[in-house]
Structure 1
Amino acid sequence: MISPAAVTGSLNSNVPTAGPARPKNIIIMVGDGMGPAYTTAYRYYKDNPETEEVEQTVFDRLLVGMSSTYPASVSGYVTDSAASATALATGFKSYNGAISVDIEKRPLPTLMEKAKALGLATGVAVTSQVNHATPAAFLAHNESRSNYIDIAQAYLNTDADVILGGGQQYFSESLLAQFTAKGYQHLNEFSQLEAVTRPKVLGLFADVQLPWAINDKQGHKLSKMTQKAIELLSQNQQGFVLLVEGSLIDWAGHSNDIATAMAEMDEFAAAIEVVEQYVRESKDTLVVITADHNTGGLSVGANDKYEWHPDVLHKVKASPDEIATRAIASEQWQPLVAELMGFKPSETELTALDEARMQGNEPLTVALRQLIDVRSNTGWTSGGHTAVDVQVFSSGPGARLFGGHQDNTDIANKVLSLLPESATQQ
């Protein structure tokens, strides 16, 4: 186990040294699918073209290291979210699809379980369904990430203080009644969240995923959930452990949808800035931010051209799937597409879009994504995950432990070493 004394090493001058060596609170933030190209693209996406310099983002400020993400050898080198989240939550490698069980399907103790046993408050705030792979691996155990109903049922026994995200369809009326009987406030409208003043709370704000940030520009749902989770969990005088996930970065990456991905990155960055401010003020809170894996093989520049045009992305007013839905419903679809895309497609491009439109929503959605790729000169290599290492960002007491290269299991073991003393003796 790593000693907190090691924190005094100097690996990154941007990491604050003030405060205790061991944190009272720990916040883990996961940008699902957020490989290095995503944070690079986001820097240029946020750049002010009126200035000579390229401004830093929160990711640049907090960068401390890198992490490998490979699963147990039975699954090769390319991980899925379940195996990677299991590694981050337990410190052990497992097979793709595993929810905090080992390769023999035996439960592995998780960070949240250990924190709860020590009297700390625990919570998750995510933009996917709350029982999706990453939050599930921190809160539950199951041989398959696909067992959504079983995982939702298992949450009843976690005693988690805050559970916020989507996933209404997986929580039956009977199960919700059991949560209520255990003292949970059940919310199904996002507007209800602001009035909550105490844990425990189960907030399910969508049937499955929360809305795409690009379609919900005033929503800021992840940053608001993060703020509320901190407000509620910090009422526990012994401290808390919180997981925050920008889940839909990955979903946009699977779709090779750069405009939607950058909007999701922007909302994840906003949530990080909420946490960064709390860490700065509290002095006793550690934040560790990473990705579970890389998705899509994003390339910032493509087609042998030394160019990338993020200005194109800023003009896109809705996600391509939303644009496609509206275009199919409208006879005057061409001006509608031009308005929502932020540019007028050429005659050749309109012909291709017309052919795709006649085939239905999904072909038109794909055609719109590809058109945005052409105009921005964005490249992709996959609709799945890749094995590239991911970045690690950190601030607060213990942050220096996460500098340099490490494995995702090392991140978990370092975090576990920073729990209150008795945790390392269990």
Structure 2
Amino acid sequence: MKPGKLAVALMASTALFLSGCSGLTQESETPVVEKTPKKVKNVIMMIGDGMGPQQVGLLETYARRAPNSIYAGKPTAIERIIEQGVLGISNTGPKDKIVVDSACSATQLATGYPTLSEVIGVGSEGEHLETILERAKVLGKATGLVSDTRLTHATPASFAAHRSHRSMENEIAEDMIRIAPDVMLSGGLRHFIPAAVNDKDKVYDQLVQQTGNSFSLSSKRKDNLNLLDTAKQSGFELAFNLEQMNAAKGDKLLGLFANSGMMDGIAYNATKNNPERTEPTLREMTEKALDVLSKKEEGFFLMVEGGQIDWAGHENDVGAMLHDLVKFDDAIDYVLDWAQKRDDTLVIVTADHETGSFGFSYSMKDVPEKVSLPEPGFGDEPYQPMFNFADLTLLDRIFAQSRSNKNIWGDFQSLPKAEQTPKRLADMMEQHHDFEVTEEMAARAMERTGNRFYVEGHSYLGAKTWPAVKSLFDSFYVYGDETHWNLMGHVLAEQQYVVWGTGTHTNTPVLVMAYGPEYAMKQFSKYLTHPEVGEMAKGFL
């Protein structure tokens, strides 16, 4: 409990005690009547995918201590919700293992039940579990999902689908249209449009016109089912760009703003003030969802995911991760401002897990020179720390990154083979990073080796050659050729004073921040598990 709240509580207790004592001798004293707490009408769950305590620490260190922080002395939204609400901690693990994936974790948050790895809305005995979104619909409330990844990706899918594996995104799309949350805003159009789109024929031309040519189109479906038509027949307005989203007036809205994932945090921060931008931001999608859902007198449930914190963590890309933390914090800022104007809304901000085992670390690189500091603390003896504890200016240099390593590698791979040299990669990396990249560093990022974990037919491990992670932890870099993005992060890490432990997830407990009516939010101020967080959230609907 904060000192201010503690003082208020003590004063209130004292007043009650004194009034009770005086009541013994003064029968005319008005009795104290306890006020009935305001019932929660709306529940908003915000999930920073991959946002462990380390990632929150990165955001807060940058916001508070970077010499040129874009926060300019103002608190982050995460700091505000901790200050004005409560803070707890939660163990994310699945029912039968130690480390969780996003599908299992989100299913536990959505349903309140422990379950198995990589399942979507399914229990450990194969049963379909009722999600908080489905419960809200039964209660007559409006429902919504917002994500900057794909609508069919693990986290949003777990709230409005029931499938045995997260990879079944085509089938998940069908579930989502059937279960029909009132507002669905994200990327992932490729799972909703027919396979015929790939033939670039009449169907393709019709969809280009329908989407306003806002982004390139291709389908991941194996059939010619057009789920956009199904959604329209069910009363949904469709939106494929910011203008169409803002123009929507009804109470059912499906917005798909990218063929796969939406823009990352670097692109977000570079373009959010650009009047020519066609893709909505995470904050704008959240604002639109609240505008639509709050029309419902009975209340609503809304899940908002900042999903690309996780993607940057998987890629060991600290600059991209910081930008995505800023993006998610911007959405929290809007939600908190919205909720503060009401007394009937519970906001829960948490993560599904930590990604990357990230941290800043001190080093023996560039140990500082001796300097003279004033007495009495230092006297005649010059001050010199034994190691380099990392200068605060690094925070600004990390935030100065202008393109993710994933996209830099994509640009590099699109070059003619003869031009894919270490020198060219080094130049491309230096163009977007405020750190030196030598040919030797770039060559290390490009190096390949045999795959000692080869599994025939496996979607990742079926590759016989592999990016060369020269570490005792190489078995934790599981995503095949994508590991080159990690190696780009690794060759920069020494200059950034950053360490990474994995290309996957850790079981680090994550923060749970809650704001709303006191009787509700105080329940989250303890050590929890994710099924408990989910169960409590459902209980407050």
Which residue type is aligned with residue 181 of structure 2?
A
- For residues 224 and 14 of structure 1, do their structure 2 counterparts lie closer, same or farther at Cα, with a shift above 3 Å needed? farther
Tell me, in whole angstroms, the C-alpha distance in 2 between the residues paired with 1:266 and 1:295. Answer: 17
User: Which residue does the alignment assign to 1:322?
Assistant: 407
- For residues 406 and 338 of structure 1, do their structure 2 counterparts lie closer, same or farther at Cα, with a shift above 3 Å needed? same
Match of 1:87 among 85, 108, 113: 108
Tell me, in whole angstroms, the C-alpha distance in 2 between the residues paired with 1:386 and 1:296. Answer: 7
User: Which residue does the alignment assign to 1:233?
Assistant: 293
Give 1:49 deviation, angstroms. Answer: 4.1
Structure 2 residue 52 is matched with structure 1 residue 35: yes
Which residue type is aligned with residue 195 of structure 1?
A
User: Which residue does the alignment assign to 2:79?
Assistant: 60
User: Which residue does the alignment assign to 2:515?
Assistant: 395
User: Which residue does the alignment assign to 1:218?
Assistant: 271
- For residues 314 and 184 of structure 1, do their structure 2 counterparts lie closer, same or farther at Cα, with a shift above 3 Å needed? same
CA contact (8 A) 2:66 2:395 kept: no
Tell me, in whole angstroms, the C-alpha distance in 2 between the residues paired with 1:416 and 1:364. Answer: 41
How is 1:172-321 mapped onto 2 (pairs within 5 angstroms)?
Answer: 172-173=193-194, 174-216=226-268, 217-219=270-272, 221-301=281-361, 303=363, 305-307=388-390, 309-321=394-406
Give identity over the alignment, percent. 31
CA contact (8 A) 1:302 1:379 kept: no
User: Which residue does the alignment assign to 1:350?
Assistant: 439
CA contact (8 A) 1:33 1:295 kept: yes
Tell me, in whole angstroms, the C-alpha distance in 2 between the residues paired with 1:34 and 1:318. Answer: 21
Give 1:198 deviation, angstroms. Answer: 2.3
Q: Which structure 1 segments of 5+ residues have no match?
A: 1-9, 420-426
How is 1:46-195 mapped onto 2 (pairs within 5 angstroms)?
Answer: 46-50=63-67, 56-63=75-82, 64-73=87-96, 76-173=97-194, 174-195=226-247
Tell me, in whole angstroms, the C-alpha distance in 2 between the residues paired with 1:392 and 1:363. Answer: 31
- For residues 13 and 231 of structure 1, do their structure 2 counterparts lie closer, same or farther at Cα, with a shift above 3 Å needed? farther
User: Which residue does the alignment assign to 1:24?
Assistant: 41
SS at match of 1:371: helix
CA contact (8 A) 2:153 2:169 kept: yes
Which residue type is aligned with residue 204 of structure 1?
L
CA contact (8 A) 2:486 2:503 kept: no
| Aligned positions, number | 404
User: Which residue does the alignment assign to 2:218?
Assistant: none
Tell me, in whole angstroms, the C-alpha distance in 1 between the residues paired with 2:3 and 2:510. Answer: 17
CA contact (8 A) 1:81 1:133 kept: yes
SS at match of 1:95: coil
Bigger CA radius of gyration: 2
Higher relative contact order (CA 8 A, sep 6+): 1
TM-score, length of structure 2 as denominator length = 0.69
SS at match of 2:360: coil
Which residue type is aligned with residue 505 of structure 2?
H
Give 1:176 deviation, angstroms. Answer: 1.3
Tell me, in whole angstroms, the C-alpha distance in 2 between the residues paired with 1:110 and 1:404. Answer: 23
SS at match of 2:528: strand
Match of 1:340 among 432, 450, 467: 432
Give 1:367 deviation, angstroms. Answer: 4.2
Give 1:118 deviation, angstroms. Answer: 0.8
TM-score, length of structure 1 as denominator length = 0.87
User: Which residue does the alignment assign to 1:4?
Assistant: none
User: Which residue does the alignment assign to 1:5?
Assistant: none
Tell me, in whole angstroms, the C-alpha distance in 1 between the residues paired with 2:65 and 2:5. Answer: 23
- For residues 148 and 250 of structure 1, do their structure 2 counterparts lie closer, same or farther at Cα, with a shift above 3 Å needed? same
Tell me, in whole angstroms, the C-alpha distance in 2 between the residues paired with 1:244 and 1:13. Answer: 31
SS at match of 1:47: helix
- For residues 114 and 11 of structure 1, do their structure 2 counterparts lie closer, same or farther at Cα, with a shift above 3 Å needed? farther
- For residues 388 and 210 of structure 1, do their structure 2 counterparts lie closer, same or farther at Cα, with a shift above 3 Å needed? same
Higher mean alpha-carbon deviation, 181-190 vs 116-125, is at: 181-190
Q: Which structure 2 segments of 5+ residues have no match?
A: 10-34, 195-225, 273-279, 365-387, 449-466, 468-480
Give 1:343 deviation, angstroms. Answer: 3.6
